[in-house]
Structure formats: C-alpha cells, structure tokens
Structure 1
Amino acid sequence: MKSQKDKNRFYKLTPFILFIALGVFSFSQSDQKIEKPNIVFIFIDDMGWKDVGFMGAEYYETPNIDKLAKNGMIFTQAYANAPNCAPTRACLLSGQYSPRHGVFTVARSDRGDPKDRRLIPIQNSTTVGLEHIFISEALKLAGYRSAAIGKWNVGNSPRAQGFDLDFPGIGFQGHFNSQGEYLADHLTDRAVDFIKENNPKKTGSPFFLYLSHYAVHTPIEAKEILIANYEKKQGVGCHNDPTYAAMIESVDQSVAKVNRILEELGLSENTLVIFFSDNGGHGTYTCQKPLRGGKGMLYEGGIRVPLFAYWPGKIRSGTTCEEPVISTDFYPTFLQLAGAKHPENYKLDGTSLVPLLNGEESINRESLFWHFPAYLNSYDGMRDEARDTLFRTRPVSVIRKGDWKLLQFHEEWVLDKGRENILKNNAVEIYNLAEDIGETNNLAAIQIDKRDELLDELIKWQQETDAPISTEINSKYQRND
C-alpha cells in the first residue's frame, strides 16, 4: 500500500496539457486568462433512466432538472459501472473497472438462500485501497478545493482520498432527523455553503463539488406536502407511487438550489454541472420501460441511467448525445478540463467525454465492460424481468460493443461446459439493442459470428484485468427443476 507521499510521485506533467484541455471549446480565449472550470457533480442514488422528465417521465415532476438538461447535453445511453451503488461509486472515483479495485457489489457477494446458489461467489471488498488514486486527489494537485457531501460507501474517508471537506449528513434516521429536517435539503444547504465559501472570485481556486444524495434510495420517505400533490395525480403506468415521486421532486429542488447559487455568484459560465445516477431504479417502486429490469440487474434497466451535462456558453444548448458512455469516463474528462496531471503508472479505464461535450459524435471507443461475480436476491417487483425469480442477478460479465450486448453467466459457463456446450447450456445471451432495447430476443443461437466475436473480446478483457470468476462449487446447492 502506498502512502500519500508515494502517490504524489505518480503524477507527471504532460506538455501543453493545460492548453489542450482548456482550449477544446469553440470560444475565444485570446488575451484572456484561462480559468479552470468548477465542477459540480450531482449524484443520485437509485434513480432510474426513465425517472426524470427529460427522459420521458410524466408522473414525476422534475422541472428544474429538465430545464438544465434541455439547456445542456442529454446523454441517452449513459451507463453506471454496476447495478448497485458501491461498485459504481468505486469505479467513478477511482477511474477504474471493478476488477482493478475489488469492489464488486454492496456488502456480501453471497446474497440469497445458499441452496439456490450453484457457486461460492468471489469475496467482495467494501473498501477501495488507498493505492488507488481518486479524482479528488488528481484535482487537488491541479489547485482544486473539493467537497464530498452525502453518501460515500467506498471505505476510507473522503479526506483520506483527497477531499478537503467531508460532510456525510449525520443524525438522520432514514431521510429525516429528529427536528423533521429532510436529508436532501440538509445536504443541499451544505453544498450551497461550500460554493459560497469557495467562490473562486474570492479564493482564486476552482472547486470540485461531489454532491452525493441518499435519495431516492430506500426507505421511501418524503415530505408530506409533496406527497399530497402526487396523491391527487393519476399514475402513469408503473410510475404511480406518490412518496417515491415526492422524493424525486426533492432532488429536483436540490438541483434548483445549487444552480441558483451558481447564477447568483456569477459562476455558471465557468462551471460544469453533471447530473447522474449510480444504478437503475428500484423495481418495487418504479420501472424503466421500455428497458428490461431495474436495480440489481445487468439488463439495461439496471445499469442505464439518466445523465446530462450543463455548462452555459460552452456546451451547446438543446443537444443530445447517443454515444454509449460510462461512469469511469468522468475521471479523464475532469482531468482534461482541469488541465490536471495524469497519474503516472496508474491505469484509467474511461475515455474523456470532452469531444462529445464539444459537439463531436463519437469518442471512437469500441466496447464497454461490466463484471459482477456476485449474487443479488430478488425483491418485490420485476421478478418476471430477471433471468429467474430467485435472483435479480447471478454472477455475470457483460460487454457492449456498438449496438450489441452480450451477457456471460458464470454458473452455466463454469459448470455446464462453457463454450463447448454453448448452444444448450444457456450460458450466454446476446441482444441487438438498436432493434431490441427491451432485451426480449436472445440471439445467441442465431448470431453465431457476432456472439463469438463479443465473447472472445470479453474473455480477453477478463484476462487483461484479472477479473475473477469463481469455479468453486457450492455444496449446499439443491437443484430445483
């Protein structure tokens, strides 16, 4: 394990990086001092792809979120690195895929009844080791002040990983404290205070705000005045829970308040605002139609999430990006925009989104990968959209390449002769998302060449990243035909 002093040796200056990073947008910089942009990252917990107005929700009310999204860039194919929170957060903050840091799931990897699990799953880590260099550490060396406000869930404290301020929100039982204060409001007020206290016009330094809400995670609790509004409304399909809707509206109010202080302080034109979720929506309370599944599944509804980027005068208003992107992409994006030094001898798995923010159509990346060697038992809702009714997911690896997506299920792959018996063992599913966004038509027995191409690439990636796949048989398993 490396000390902080050792970490500092990782960084080396790339010639002209500041000029390149801050010159990407088509605006005049001649005879002007280049300012490093502030970065506000608003991270929502368990918000699904269709849970906001800008992605088509009609029952949920998100006017402030929608306004920023429509005046910025909406990403329609944005992905979390995992179907639940801890691994996505670990990947985003470290810039690395899960096999590199070992945070694969939340808490235990052996969820569910032992008699239903064919394999002993890979042991999960709940902590990202200090040898992994978080984006906050890289930005600190570029002169940024940073705050981690809200949910953390990756082990070591934010201060140990480069943040200057750590404010988790203490004293709450669920989403309320003993004074009746709502947690999302509490965190938002602290975020506003941080922006005021670290106004670059006074400090001379840019800031990075990581505002990580606990909403809309369970317990599903909201302010009564907001709930009452939705109790009067007619639900729209599977969007019909008044309390969940009220939680979403509180998030919308948070976004409005953060944006308002940026405007009041005259910081908007030099601040990038990102809105993102850590995984798909909870299937008991919402759904993501036409996507299949929700939180805890590696089908689209569990990993495809809402994303917009807003930066007045820099990102063209009213734009939509169809390029698949993933949460590990934020690290290199922020490095480039900040003119920050790249950590030396430190692998980053993402690709900078700056070309997309600048209006280009592609970042010329071939594939995205997921590795989830764990079990997640089922819950109320969406059992019919999972692979089986006992688990939201069993151990699985995934590749998306172009319009194609392949899922490799470890139990069948390891125990039922893998590739040798691929036409019979149901170890692989492959879908064309352009034609079948709901993942209803498994083409593994039809698109043989495409299946083998993606499978070969996935296996190569597993080998390159040392992605662990359990081969240990669970002796407590009881076959249930």
Structure 2
Amino acid sequence: MAIFTKQKKKLNEFLLLIVLFIPFSTFSQSTEQKDVLKPNIIFILVDDFGWNQVGCYGNEIVRTPNLDKLAEEGAKFTSAYVMPQCSPTRAAFLSGKYPARSGMTKVINNRFFGNAPMLTPKVRKKLPSEWYSLAKMLKSAGYTTGISGKWHVADNYPAAPIKEKKGITYFNAYGFDWVGDASEGKAKKDKAVMDITNEVLGFIDQNKENPFFAFVSHFTTHSPLAAPDTLVEKYVKKGYTKMTDKWGLVSERPTADILAMTEHLDYSIGLIMEKLEKLGLAENTLLVAMGDNGALGRFWDHSPLRESKGSLYEGGIRVPLIMKWPKTIQAKTEIETSVHIIDMYPTFMEIAGADRQKDYKIDGESLIPLLNNNEGFTRDILYFHHPHYVPMYAKTPGSIVRKGDYKLIYYFGDYLDTEGHEAAHRKLYGKLKLGEKVELFNIKKDIGEKNDLSADMPEKVEEMMSLLRNWWDETGAPMPVANQDYNPDAPFAETINKER
C-alpha cells in the first residue's frame, strides 16, 4: 500500500509537470511561429506615375504584365490618393501624418513667388529624425529596414549622396538599417531603375531569414525622361515620337520615351516578384506598388481624370495602388473605397504586430479590414492641404475635403484659369483671378470633374467647409494670408520671397 501511494505521488508529480509544461511550450511555439509568420513588406513608390499609366488601369499602349499580374493575384485600388507633389507624399508615408499636421506641405526645394496675392506659410523643410517614423516602427517589431533611391523629405533629393556625405548613421536616426548607393546621377540612362532594383534584390537575399521592410523609392517616371535606347527605339518603330525636349511637349504626348520608361519600370518589378518566388518568400510577403503623384501633364494624358501632377484635381492626386499578399488578399480584389498613403503606416503596423507609440499621432487607418473583404473600415472622409503656389502646374494655395462621393476644393484667395494650361511649356500658366473659390464635384458620377455643383448645393458646400475648417484647427494646418503689398499691375514672377 505504501509502495502504491509512493508511485501514485510520483505519477501525480509527473502529470503536474506535464500540465505546467504544456502551456509554456505551447506559448513558446506560438511566439516563435508568430515571429516566423511575420510577413516581409516591400513598398515600391513610383515618381510621377499617372493613374491610368498601368495596363489594368487603362493603359492600352504599353504592356505592364507584372503590375497587371500583381492586380490579378491581389488587390487593385481604384480610388487611392496622395498629395499633388513629391515631398508631402513621401513625408506622409514615412510619418503616417497628414502634411497639414506634419508641416511638410510642399516640395522641399520649391521656390517662392514674390508678387503674389497670398503669402505662403512657413513650413517644415525636413522630416524630423526624432519622430517615430514608419521605419522605426517596423524596426521595433523586429524588421530589418532598407531604402534605395529617392529620399526628398530632408536635405537632398536622392538618398545615396546623403549617405556618402553623412554616413549610414544619418539614416539610422530615421530607422533604416540599410541604404543603397543607387542615384540617377550615376545611372542617367534609366534613372537608376535597375541599380535600385538590383540593390533591393541583394537586400532581400541578405535578409531572407528574418522579416524585412524594403522601401523601393524610384526616380522614374519623373522628368527629364530617360529609358534604355532599345526600348525607346521599340516605340519609335511603333510610330511614337522620340521626345525633342527633355522637359516635355504636350504636342508630342505620349512620347516613345515615357512609354519605354513605363515598360522598363514594369520589367524591374517583375524581377522583384521572381526573386520572391525563387526564395520561397512570395506567400509571406506584402508587395505594394503606388505612385507618389500624378504624371506630368506634358508627358501623359490622364483622361478621364482632370489635369495632372501638381493639381488638386483627380489627375494630380489619384494614383495606381496595387497590393499583393496571398495569405490575406484574395485574387482579383477590386477596392473602390477611398484610401490615402497615410494609411500605409497603420496597415504595416498591424501587419507587423508593432506597438503604437504613445503620444505619436498618426492620421491613417489600417487597410486590413478592406483587404480582408469585411466591413470593418468605416472612414469616409479624406483631407488634403497644399497652401502654396506652383504656377507651372496652374496651382494656387488650396485645400480639399472628400466625403463619400463628394469632393470640395477650396482656394484661399486666388486661382488660375487652367483651361488649356497643359499646352504651354515652361511658362506661368493661366490667368490669375482674385478671390476665394469653392468647387464641388460628385466624383462617383463625374470622375472628370466637369460639373461644379457648388452653386446648386450650398448646404453641401457649407457641410464640407465646416469639416475642412474643423480639420484645419485640429491639425494646426499652416495657412496662407493676404499679401498687403501685392501689386496687381506687377508681374507674377518666379522671384525669391521670404516665408512669413
């Protein structure tokens, strides 16, 4: 009896150990699995990339089989938005903040205009390295982070010269572990498309065993245009003109050069897709391709969208956005919901399982509910703030609010008559007209923004303006003010003007 009791005691102790060990073991395994299953993230941002420049968005001239395949196997967003110019878009991506909140509302090397009706606000010229950037956030979740190509949110245009001058520690402060050496100055023939791509392929190879984030930041298809001669000649033989002016003539649109650049870009994206397949990473990688603003109107016709790069109309701010992530996104998904580049930050944060930093405000919403094809995404308002002059794009200080199907554009104190402005070349476009202006469009019914509804729907205008005013206050948006020294008889010229 004593022997049986002793054996029973040992058995109970053994079973207790098993019971205690099982949850610990299970927790350890699930934690390890969670780390292993964290998806890699590759974000490809294309410079000056028109909404309909991709085959699956309507380009019938250039074959873009790789981008089309991404859309076929993943999700195509038909109403994705950015800012009308580069720096504000890129700052919004890296910070997760609306430019109105971050203060980075203009291209960092834009000039000011002397004799203008409005004085533009003083704005931030450098993305603060102390902020909890997207790269820092992903790094905190165990990701190795890298960038190759264009920077343009602080100090300089391409990343490579900054790295050469200031070292990798400069980018470490922004959360990047690795920075490529690609620069369009070193590869003018194709604006460094292949240099950037090859560097990113090497980065993937080196980090294939652990989760990584690669920011593939292209210079193409920005002017001046450049593509491999063989591709340009291919389109010349098809009857398209080789450009006679590197800055573009609308009369030659589309040139063989812009068509060749688009095909070359698509080919480079295909190489990244092939690398992921070869390494067995494709199933566990979120691959995103997006434009940073519309294409330059002298090179590309955005019809049915109105206008082009630099404009507050759809051609300036609506861009292609394609996402592929086999484990989450069903093939052939098409998403009509309006989204913004600020949404990438919280989307990547959720995917990575990263923590939100206390007191760091982000404006975007995670797109995971949309990607999962459920109804958890409820936001229906987007804002845009660009309180600056860009006469070369017929652009005066303005803001936008889009709510549901409606879009309101507000000009603070003057506007340019934009009719036919794209036919001009390197001139100040349009006739300047004084006074505030409001335009209201139903984008769903009128994607070309031809029918201004503001006079017919004053209550909707007031509703939208109330939203916009409250948003200005909440974000602390930098605002333009009337220029008391404005002389309407003097030329509205490109002269240096001090920020107020």
Range of TM-score over shorter length: 0.7 to 0.9
1:408 maps to: 410
Distance apart, 1:132 and its partner CA:
2.1
2:106 maps to: 105
Q: 3-state SS of the aligned residue for 1:461?
A: helix
The percentage of aligned residue pairs carrying the same residue is 38
Distance apart, 1:129 and its partner CA:
1.4
In our comparison, the structure showing a higher alpha carbon Rg is 2
Distance apart, 1:358 and its partner CA:
0.7
2:128 maps to: 129
Q: Distance in 2 between matches of 1:191 and 1:31?
A: 29
In the alignment, does 2:214 pair up with 1:209? yes
Q: Distance in 2 between matches of 1:67 and 1:251?
A: 14
Equivalence map 1:444-455=2 (5 Å) = 444-455=454-465
Distance apart, 1:33 and its partner CA:
2.1
Q: 3-state SS of the aligned residue for 2:216?
A: strand
Instruction: Flag the 1:146–1:475 CA change in 2: closer, same or farther, 3 A.
Output: same
Counterpart of 1:65 (choices 64, 67, 70) is: 67
Instruction: Flag the 1:133–1:477 CA change in 2: closer, same or farther, 3 A.
Output: farther
Q: Distance in 2 between matches of 1:171 and 1:149?
A: 11
Counterpart of 1:242 (choices 247, 256, 261) is: 256
1:430 maps to: 440
Q: 3-state SS of the aligned residue for 1:211?
A: strand
2:298 maps to: 284
Equivalence map 1:187-198=2 (5 Å) = 187-198=196-207
1:20 maps to: none
Q: Is 1:148–1:158's contact at 8 Å kept on the other side of the alignment?
A: no
Q: Distance in 2 between matches of 1:343 and 1:246?
A: 43
Q: 3-state SS of the aligned residue for 1:153?
A: strand
Q: Is 1:97–1:349's contact at 8 Å kept on the other side of the alignment?
A: yes
Distance apart, 1:436 and its partner CA:
1.1
Q: Distance in 2 between matches of 1:405 and 1:147?
A: 36
**Superposed CA offset, 1:215-269 (max 9, x none):** 0111101111001111122569986211011111111011000111000000001
2:151 maps to: 152
Q: 3-state SS of the aligned residue for 2:42?
A: strand
Q: What TM-score results when the alignment is normalised by the length of structure 2?
A: 0.80
Q: Distance in 1 between matches of 2:443 and 2:84?
A: 18
Give ranges in structure 1 of 5+ residues lacking alignment. 1-28, 379-390, 414-423
Counterpart of 2:232 (choices 221, 227, 230) is: 227
Q: Is 2:409–2:440's contact at 8 Å kept on the other side of the alignment?
A: yes
Q: Is 2:183–2:192's contact at 8 Å kept on the other side of the alignment?
A: no
Q: Distance in 2 between matches of 1:197 and 1:341?
A: 26
Q: Distance in 2 between matches of 1:31 and 1:464?
A: 40
Q: Is 1:43–1:276's contact at 8 Å kept on the other side of the alignment?
A: yes
Q: Is 1:96–1:349's contact at 8 Å kept on the other side of the alignment?
A: yes
Report the count of equivalent residues: 420
Instruction: Flag the 1:182–1:368 CA change in 2: closer, same or farther, 3 A.
Output: closer
Instruction: Flag the 1:188–1:101 CA change in 2: closer, same or farther, 3 A.
Output: same
Q: 3-state SS of the aligned residue for 1:397?
A: strand
Q: One-letter code of the match for 2:487? A: Y
Counterpart of 2:48 (choices 24, 46, 50) is: 46
Q: Is 2:396–2:414's contact at 8 Å kept on the other side of the alignment?
A: no
**Superposed CA offset, 1:17-75 (max 9, x none):** xxxxxxxxxxxx99992311100101100001011101010112211111111111000
Q: Distance in 2 between matches of 1:238 and 1:321?
A: 34
1:470 maps to: 480
Q: One-letter code of the match for 2:364? A: G
Instruction: Flag the 1:471–1:426 CA change in 2: closer, same or farther, 3 A.
Output: closer
In the alignment, does 2:397 pair up with 1:395? yes
Q: Distance in 1 between matches of 2:46 and 2:171?
A: 18
Q: What TM-score results when the alignment is normalised by the length of structure 1?
A: 0.83
Instruction: Flag the 1:238–1:441 CA change in 2: closer, same or farther, 3 A.
Output: farther
Q: One-letter code of the match for 2:394? A: R
Equivalence map 1:341-380=2 (5 Å) = 341-360=355-374, 363-378=377-392
Q: One-letter code of the match for 1:164? A: D
2:193 maps to: 184
Q: One-letter code of the match for 1:461? A: W
RMSD of the alignment, in Å?
2.4
Distance apart, 1:472 and its partner CA:
3.8
Distance apart, 1:270 and its partner CA:
0.5
2:26 maps to: none
Q: Is 1:152–1:168's contact at 8 Å kept on the other side of the alignment?
A: no
Q: Is 1:182–1:223's contact at 8 Å kept on the other side of the alignment?
A: no
Q: Distance in 2 between matches of 1:410 and 1:90?
A: 23
Q: Distance in 2 between matches of 1:102 and 1:31?
A: 40
Q: Distance in 2 between matches of 1:195 and 1:71?
A: 21
1:3 maps to: none
Q: Is 1:72–1:317's contact at 8 Å kept on the other side of the alignment?
A: yes
Q: 3-state SS of the aligned residue for 2:45?
A: strand
